[in-house]
Structure 1
Amino acid sequence: MKTSVVLILFLCCCCQISLAQPTSVKLENIKVDAPFEMPEITIPNFANLPNYDIRNYGAIAGDKEKITHAIETAIEKATQQGGTVVIPTGEWLTKKIHLKSNVNLHISEGATLLFSADPKDYLPAVFSTWEGLECYNYSPLIYAFGIKNIAITGKGTIKAQMDVWRKWFPRPQAHMESIKNLYNWAQDGVPVENRNMVNDTSNLRPQFVQFNRCENILIEDIKIRNSPFWTVHLYLSKNIVVRNIDVYAHGHNNDGIDPEMSQNILIENCVFDQGDDAVAIKSGRNPEGWRLQTPSKNIVIRNCTMKDGHQLLAIGSELSGGIENILVENCEAGVGAKLMHLLFIKTNERMGGYVKNVYFKNIKAHDLRDGILGIDTDVLYQWRTLVPTRIKKTTPIQNVYLENIVTTNGKFISKINGNPSEPVKNILLKNVQLENASEDKNQHKFVEGFQIQ
């Protein structure tokens, strides 16, 4: 018995010593100008730290098992005091990658990190989400949970193979029943560890990159090609810079970047070519957002280009934790983009939460399928008939400012469908131009304080 106690104490002490090891990762603070109080953003700097080339740990091109093992080993080495895991030039086929603190995953120029098409390579299930509801699901292809000082950098490419995920795009009855169960479990307060969505019929596709409950994050320069689901999911995380990335993902639900219940974020100089929204800001669905009580806020998006997709910026529809202090500036939707809206705020009678202090300025676009600004408080998608409304919570929406917007073709400048019991308040359009409108330029229901200058 004494021997066992001594051994346990020894192991505990070793763990404490290991956890207490100093890291050499330097932190730098980024100042960002915004029309609201914007904290400095802390991100890691991996300059002058060791490199861990996966070839030195047994990676052989074409051998998925050895490559996966080599990446895991290199991450274990790098996390100890900080360092960069290098994916060298060439194509490297891998299973899931789980990052650890103080690690920079660097995709070298000319390198492609190609992710397996086999869903079994993303098991066991991890703590993740599906459309604003927490659950255990297939691991995101690149996943980080509860860590800090992390980066994905380099001028190479990360790419998803879509053979199986594409087959999961449709929403057959079995899939709908599964998400119905998930919704009801969340409503009933079922613990997340009991919400396992991996089975033969749910087919909930994983995110490509997910930072879950992390802080001090840099994503820089990489190209992303294809995605099973949302492309970059920033969940319950803070202090994030995403810059100079190039995203092409034209599958179902292929948003470019989804900040959800995350704070202090800069997204700049990025190119989006999407099957869905370029950036979609969210904050949990119904009871999840109410339970976690963490708004998405202090988010700046600037100098980005949208080549194709639905919205330049979508807010919602999952916004039950609230969304505030958002700035989008100096962005452009190029010829042929044919977006639905430039800014679309969407919610419904079940969401609650709030939206306030949204600034949208210096934006150029060409052809819009709908209009510049859309606000709709009755967007329910499949949930309208899938489950009944249990609790009604409307969403206050106020303080939305658009300035210096120039668009060539579209249906309208603004279309606002407010809630009669919670009108949309304080909307200002200043120098917002639509050259060719096919409908009335401003179409409003239940709006208070709308101004045009």
Structure 2
Amino acid sequence: MQTENIQLSAPFDMPMIGVPDFSDCPLFDIVDFGAQQGRDDLAKAANNQAIAHAIEAANAQGGGTVIVPAGTWLCGKIHLKSYVNLHVAQGATLLFSALPTDYLPAVLTSWEGMECYNYSPLIYALACEHVAISGKGTLLAQMDVWTPWGARPNAHMEALAGLYHQAAKYEPVEQRQMVFDGAHLRPHFIQFNRCKHVLVENIQIENSPFWVLHPFLCRDVVIRKVSVRAHGHNNDGVDPEMTQNMLIEDCIFDQGDDAIALKAGRNQDGWRLNVPSKNIVIRRCHIKCAHHLVAIGSELSAGIENVLIQDCQFDGQTDYQDAGNLLYIKTNERCGGVIKHIYMQNIRAQKLGGAALVIETDVLYQWRELVPTYERRLTIIEQIYLDTIQAQQAEHLCRIEGQQEAPVQQITLSNINMSTKAEAVVNRHVERFILQ
């Protein structure tokens, strides 16, 4: 099995990224393992077994590509193994079950920056290396159950508060069991958890219970030529969390939330794991619809640094969804962490409801009233650079709400060309701000 080594140019020291190359590996067609087309329980059971056995065979071979051929294949959870490429061929659809029981038993995962045991992601890899998802086919989630769960009734909020208290008290992750009546913590579509050398290429993804692509505590990750369309609740496109050495390129995003949201753990869990998201390049992506092109936070407690966003297009506001900002950094007094060395270059946008850059330091959403502040730690935000930004219209050019005790520092905006509806720059508690 070969490795593709990718060297990137960035305004910081960017390590080489190594991802798997399966071009010389044997093929394992799921039909040969008993897969069946159809939408009944018999087909689903056959496909679950066939996919799992094909993955085991490819792993045992020391490297292999599991082929999902043209057709529609109903299945439950898929658990990947090292040295395996799940290849969904053009004309193929992996149709994921809408039954929550098909994603049990619970696995080690996370929810909004806190580790726990919850429903398995639809596609899940734990502690794998040299693992891939590829092909020009489609991964499709059925939303019959997940959409109602997104309403977040009282029982869900109480469960979420309970998880927050467990994490804040550093209770062992094994005790954070979140699969019980009413909790309804929706699973990720795809989570790579503690993996190395990860490639996701060409695939089309439609719908998602929760975050779509979630590399968590990973190293050396490439996501390229992927198309994501998901307009459910919390449907970010890609959420790198405590992940290092990553490239996102030539992707298309059509999201109900943020296109790309950089994360680094929530509060005590971020401090406990203490792995910053670092060395991330995002380039040549087309964002058809999203709240923000790139959001940072609010789960950022382990820190986020060395990020380059360049040569992207953001279509902006649509008839059915507002578009916010090109770069949105959000935190609060509970997060801590350091955000630094963030670069955005050569971005084209149409109509924005926000600004090129917005930084807010008092964003707590439901947490403000739901749970208390266990420990107060302010976030250090510094060295943010935007250059060559064009937008037809925006509310502001830049809006920064810093904190008096920890002012935002070293912000440079160059060659910003956009028409603003209100005051161009609205800043509080900012030091060394340059607009040129």
Q: Match for 1:70: what amino acid?
A: A
Match of 1:373 in 2: 357
Query: Matches of 2:257 and 2:65 in 1, distance apart?
Result: 32
1:144-183 → structure 2 map (5 Å cutoff)? 144-183=125-164
Secondary structure of 2:12's counterpart equals coil
> 1:307-356 CA deviation, whole Å, 9 max, x = no partner?
00100000000000000000000000126554200000000000000100
Query: Matches of 1:199 and 1:226 in 2, distance apart?
Result: 24
Shift of 1:389: 1.1
Match of 2:5 in 1: 29
Match of 2:298 in 1: 317
Residue 347 of structure 1, aligned match among 324, 331, 342: 331
Shift of 1:427: 0.3
Shift of 1:28: 2.1
> 1:361-409 CA deviation, whole Å, 9 max, x = no partner?
1000010011111000000000000011111000000000000000011
Distance 1:335 1:381, change over 3 A: closer
Match of 2:28 in 1: 52
Contact 2:35 2:46 in 1 (8 A): yes
Unaligned runs of 5+ in 1: 1-24
Match of 1:76 in 2: 56
Match of 1:14 in 2: none
Query: Matches of 1:129 and 1:388 in 2, distance apart?
Result: 21
Matched, 1:223 2:207: no
Query: Matches of 2:345 and 2:226 in 1, distance apart?
Result: 22
Residue 389 of structure 1, aligned match among 358, 373, 390: 373
Secondary structure of 2:157's counterpart equals helix
Matched, 1:267 2:248: yes
Query: Matches of 1:132 and 1:210 in 2, distance apart?
Result: 13
1:82-93 → structure 2 map (5 Å cutoff)? 82-93=63-74
Q: Match for 1:452: what amino acid?
A: L
Query: Matches of 2:374 and 2:28 in 1, distance apart?
Result: 52
Q: Aligned residues, how many?
A: 428
CA RMSD of aligned residues (A): 0.7
Residue 166 of structure 2, aligned match among 173, 178, 185: 185
Q: Which runs of structure 1 show a deviation greater than 4 angstroms over 4 or more consecutive aligned residues?
A: 335-338
Q: Match for 1:444: what amino acid?
A: N
When the two structures are superposed, what TM-score results if normalisation uses the length of structure 2?
0.97
1:295-444 → structure 2 map (5 Å cutoff)? 295-334=276-315, 336-337=317-318, 338-435=322-419, 437-444=420-427
Q: Rg bigger for which structure?
A: 1
Match of 1:254 in 2: 235
Shift of 1:190: 0.9
Percent of aligned positions with the same letter in both sequences? 53
> 1:261-284 CA deviation, whole Å, 9 max, x = no partner?
000000000000000000000000
Secondary structure of 1:197's counterpart equals coil
Query: Matches of 2:130 and 2:24 in 1, distance apart?
Result: 15
Matched, 1:61 2:37: yes
